[in-house]
Amino acid sequence: MNIVMTGSTGLIGSALTDHFRKEGHKVTRMARPVSLQKTGESVVVWDAAASVVDLSSLEGVDAVIHLAGANIAARRWSAAYKEEIRLSRLRGTRFLSDSLVRLRRPPKVFICASAVGFYGNLDPRVCADESTPRGQGFLAELCEAWEKSADVARQAGIRVIHLRTGVVLSPQGGALEKMLPVFRLGLGGRLGNGCQMMSWVALDEVPWIVEHLMRSDQIAGPVNIVSPQSISNAEFTKILGLVLQRSVILPVPSWAIRVMFTEMGETLLLGGARVLPEKLTDSGYTFRYPDLETFLRKILR
């Protein structure tokens, strides 16, 4: 397949690029003009803020994967940073959608990043699948608007998929990378009361899921990119300590997280939802890493 990708240098984008190239697919990065001097490979030039895109490079590609956006966990959610997060997603997705429908030969599929934050913070006893209504809060509202930003492409007949991704686990980046030094020192512990649910997915799983979605013509709309086995923060903490052979007896109180991280900490660290990958399992996808302990032992051995 001929694939074009934004956000290709991020954690997920790098994994997808490496996987697809090893599988024999052609992957072309989309990059802003200021990024051109940083890489020797050819790229598709684009800049949503300046309404710039090289349309000729998009003609006839099989898939466009859009992952670009400001890091939601990079710092506290001030009003200014929340607006930066929002604009980086809505403006980019809308501009790409508008651009794709102008092509004589548009892509067969347009795959856009999203997040399980769509469901908000749910009671641990409640399960969410792709039919569950939007939850409450900044992240839930952002995800809804983010997905609607691709409506132009959807209405033009392009198959649009929204990757509602959970917590992506990898020692090379994201939440797990930040946790490992603390847990290896024996200073790890649950966050708050530890009851909040964590819907996770192995980074090594994501490329296989995305390839499955690209090949499954009947799948469209939101797809939950999570393991079928969500766990609580307390369970995750216990398993990680067991794998690392370290004690996990130092919980971080909720009040400390709220003081240090404000709304971002309340949403990302103390909140969560038990999310099920209903569309993936219904379409016959078989998870390579459904069990957390088995996966952690593989990558941390």
Q: Is residue 182 in some structural domain?
A: no
% the chain with pLDDT above 90: 86
Interval 255-275 mean pLDDT:
91
- Give the residue numbers spanning the domain of 10: 2-168+200-226+276-285
268 lies in some domain: no
- Is residue 121 a part of any domain in this protein? yes
Return the amino acid letter for 56.
Answer: S
Asked if residue 161 is part of any domain, the answer here is yes
pLDDT of 103-155, one tens digit each?
999 999 999 999 999 999 999 999 999 999 999 999 999 999 999 999 999 99
**Averaged pLDDT for residues 63-76:** 92
- 238 domain residue, yes or no: no
The set of residues, in sequence order, having a beta carbon less than 8 Å from that of 78 and lying 6+ positions away, is none
Q: Which of 239, 221, 220 is nearest to 230 (CA)?
A: 239
Domain assignment present for 249: no
pLDDT at 35: 58
Number of domains within the chain: 1
Q: Is residue 75, in this structure, part of any structural domain at all?
A: yes
pLDDT digits (tens, 9 = 90+) for 184-200: 999 999 999 999 999 99
Is 188 within a domain? no
- For position 36, which CATH number holds? 3.40.50.720
Q: State yes or no: pLDDT of 39 exceeds 60.
A: no
